[in-house]
Structure 1
Amino acid sequence: MLKQFFIICSGADTDILEHCSKGEQNKYAGIGATVFFTAVMAFIAASYALYTVFDNIFMAIAFGFIWGLLIFNLDRYIVSTIKKTGQLTDELIQASPRIILAVIIAIVISKPLELKIFEKEINQVLLEQKNELTLANKEQVAQQFTPDITTLQNDITGLQNDINTKEAEVNALYDTYIAEAEGTAGTKLLGKGPVYKEKRDKHDALLAELQVLKAENKTKIAAIETQIATIKDDYETQILKTQPIINNFDGLMARVNALSKLPWLPSFFIFLLFLAIETSPIFAKLLSPKGTYDFKLEDQETAVKTNLLQNKNQREALLRTDYAINDRIYGDIENEDELYTYKRKKVRELMQLQADAFLKHQKNAF
């Protein structure tokens, strides 16, 4: 039962193989088994690849099954259409397009399986890429908010500098009137005289201005700090919104690119393995000698071709004979007066009927 199934997978004519040797049947059963298991691997590979795209196992299995059937049909067609002619050069020319197609199929099948085999290594590469993308994303988002924050911080610095400048002036006046009271500067008279009072009043007036300035600038600084906090919150919100995009950076294309960053030799050997599996049925047919099945298939096709040529030649001969007979018949009756008189009479009657009908039509028009 299994052997018969694999023979069907090989695309061979089962009616012809029934009358061939067991060895011939086993050869085509082996070719069919290769075709079948290649389709199974294609199903697994496509299912995994599509799962990385859709994140839905049922959809991935459904599309993977369709892809497996497509590969199975292509491989079966490739193997079944290679005919043994006994001339290796002709067979290679006949098989070359099929070999190219087999190489393409091997690439398509092997790549998703490479992604699965090297999944851990690919995940490590993707993690590094995600970290780089996260840092780059933070820098890009920061470029949108940093200028505003810098401007506001400069405003705070300016307000604080105003306070510091005013405090320096107040402190200088304080030192001045203290020195006047101690007699170490100014009039150098010990005690609190008129000059001391004048300097003290000037200091107190500037101190009052400083207190007002501190209150005003403190309010302004608090408002600016609130703006900075709001901008920083917006920055964090933007980071949180964009981070899921980076976290989901593990699709099919990202994995293929990550695979390309790994050493190429292991992937190349996996590709060679699938290429050998995919092309083995083709080369098995090319390298194997012409067997009983090939002779019987050629005999059957030759018989059909000969029968078609015979039928075509018979129809052409029948047509030529019919032409010749008709020419002779019409040539013989061409000069018969009786047939001429009869046909002349009928033509005259037909022309009279046409003239009567035309006259009647003209009368009815008036």
Structure 2
Amino acid sequence: MLQRFFIFCSGADTAILDECSPGERTKYAGIGATVFFTAVMATIAAAYALYTIFDTYLSAIFFGIIWGLLIFNLDRFIVSTIKKRDNFFDELIQASPRIALAIIIAIVISKPLEMKIFEKEINQVLLTEKNEMTLANKDQLALQYTPSINALETEIESLKNEITTKETEVNNLYETYIAEAEGRKGTEKLGKGPVYKEKRDKHDSEQAALAELKKTNAEKITAAEAQVAILAVEYKTKVADTQPVIDGFDGLMARVNALDKLPWLPSLFIFLLFLAIETSPILAKLLSPKGAYDLKLEEQESALKSWVTQQKAQRDILVTTDRDINNRVYADIAEEQELYDYKRKKARELMQMQADAFYKQQKSIL
């Protein structure tokens, strides 16, 4: 039962194989088993690749089975259409397009499994890329907010410096009128005279201005700091909103690109393995000697070709003969006087009827 299934997978004619030896059936069962397991590997590879795209098991399994059936049908077609010939190079030329197709299929089915085998290494590459993208994203978003934040911080610093300058000025005035009272500076007279009073009034006036300046600048600083806090919150929100896009950067294309950044030698060996699996049915068919199945199939095809050629030749002869007979028959009839007289009589009657009809038409017009 299993052997017949694998023979079906090889695309061989079971009616012809039943007339061959067990060894011949075993050979084609082996070819069919290779075709079957190649399709199984293609199904697994496609299911994993599609899982990285759809992220659902049902879709991945369904489309993976469809892809596996497609590969199975292609491989079965490739193997079944290669005919054994007397010259190996003729067989190789016949199989060259199919070998090229097998190479393409091997590339397609090997990539997803390479990604699965090197999944940990690919994840490490993707993690590094995600970290770089996160930093780059933060820098790009910061360019939108940094100028405004810097301008506000500069304004805050300017307001604080203005207060500090005013405080220094008021302190200097305080020192001036105290020194005047102690007789250390100014008039150098001890006591609180008119000059002291003048300097004290100026200090008190500037101190009141300082208090007003502190109040005004404090309100401006509070408003500027609130704007800085709002911009900082907006920046963090923007970063948080864009981070899921970076975190989701692990699709099929990203993993293929990450795989290309890994050392190429292990990937080459895996590709060669799948290439050997994919081309093994074709190579087995090419390298195997011409067996009883091939001879019987060639005999059957030759008999059919001969029969078709014979039938075509007979139809050509039939057409030629019928044409010659018709030519002779019509030639003989053309020589008969009776037929000539009958046709002449009918032609004369027809011309008379045409003349009468023309006369009546002209008369009705007049």
Same fold (TM over 0.5): yes
Q: TM-score range by the shorter chain?
A: over 0.9
Deviation of the 1:252 alpha carbon? 0.3
Gaps of at least 5 residues in structure 1 are: none
* 1:71 equivalent in structure 2: 71
Matched, 1:253 2:241: no
* 1:175 equivalent in structure 2: 175
Matched, 1:232 2:232: yes
Residues 126-171 of structure 1 deviation map (CA, whole Å, 9 limit, x = unaligned): 1111111111111111111111000110111111111111111111
* 1:314 equivalent in structure 2: 314
Deviation of the 1:346 alpha carbon? 2.8
Deviation of the 1:334 alpha carbon? 2.0
Greater mean alpha carbon deviation, residues 101-110 or residues 86-95? 86-95
Give me the identity figure in percent: 69
CA distance 1:253–1:178, change in 2 (3 Å): same
For 1:316 and 1:302, how far apart are their aligned partners in 2? 21
Residues 299-329 of structure 1 deviation map (CA, whole Å, 9 limit, x = unaligned): 1111111111111111111111122222222
CA distance 1:105–1:360, change in 2 (3 Å): farther
RMSD of aligned residue pairs (Cα, Å): 1.6
* 1:136 equivalent in structure 2: 136
What amino acid is aligned across from residue 300 of structure 2 in structure 1? Answer: Q
TM-score normalized with structure 1 length: 0.96
CA distance 1:285–1:365, change in 2 (3 Å): farther
What amino acid is aligned across from residue 280 of structure 1 in structure 2? Answer: S
What amino acid is aligned across from residue 16 of structure 2 in structure 1? Answer: I
Deviation of the 1:255 alpha carbon? 0.6
For 2:8 and 2:356, how far apart are their aligned partners in 1? 77
Deviation of the 1:93 alpha carbon? 0.7
* DSSP-derived class of the 1:109 partner: helix
For 1:4 and 1:346, how far apart are their aligned partners in 2? 77
CA distance 1:77–1:327, change in 2 (3 Å): same
For 2:247 and 2:20, how far apart are their aligned partners in 1? 61
CA distance 1:258–1:316, change in 2 (3 Å): same
Greater mean alpha carbon deviation, residues 275-284 or residues 126-135? 126-135
Matched, 1:294 2:291: no
* 1:97 equivalent in structure 2: 97
* DSSP-derived class of the 1:304 partner: helix
* 1:324 equivalent in structure 2: 324
For 1:303 and 1:99, how far apart are their aligned partners in 2? 30
Deviation of the 1:284 alpha carbon? 0.6
Deviation of the 1:363 alpha carbon? 7.8
CA distance 1:176–1:120, change in 2 (3 Å): same
Greater mean alpha carbon deviation, residues 192-201 or residues 208-217? 192-201
Deviation of the 1:347 alpha carbon? 3.0
* DSSP-derived class of the 2:249 partner: coil
Please give the residue correspondences for 1:263-282 in structure 2 after superposition, counting only pairs within 5 Å.
263-282=263-282
Gaps of at least 5 residues in structure 2 are: none
For 2:362 and 2:71, how far apart are their aligned partners in 1? 77
For 1:365 and 1:163, how far apart are their aligned partners in 2? 124
For 2:361 and 2:290, how far apart are their aligned partners in 1? 82
Deviation of the 1:333 alpha carbon? 2.4
Deviation of the 1:178 alpha carbon? 1.3
Residues 1-23 of structure 1 deviation map (CA, whole Å, 9 limit, x = unaligned): 11111111111111111101111
For 2:277 and 2:263, how far apart are their aligned partners in 1? 23
* 1:14 equivalent in structure 2: 14
What amino acid is aligned across from residue 20 of structure 2 in structure 1? Answer: C
The count of residues paired between Structure 1 and Structure 2 equals 366
* DSSP-derived class of the 2:189 partner: coil
Please give the residue correspondences for 1:105-254 in structure 2 after superposition, counting only pairs within 5 Å.
105-254=105-254
Deviation of the 1:116 alpha carbon? 0.8
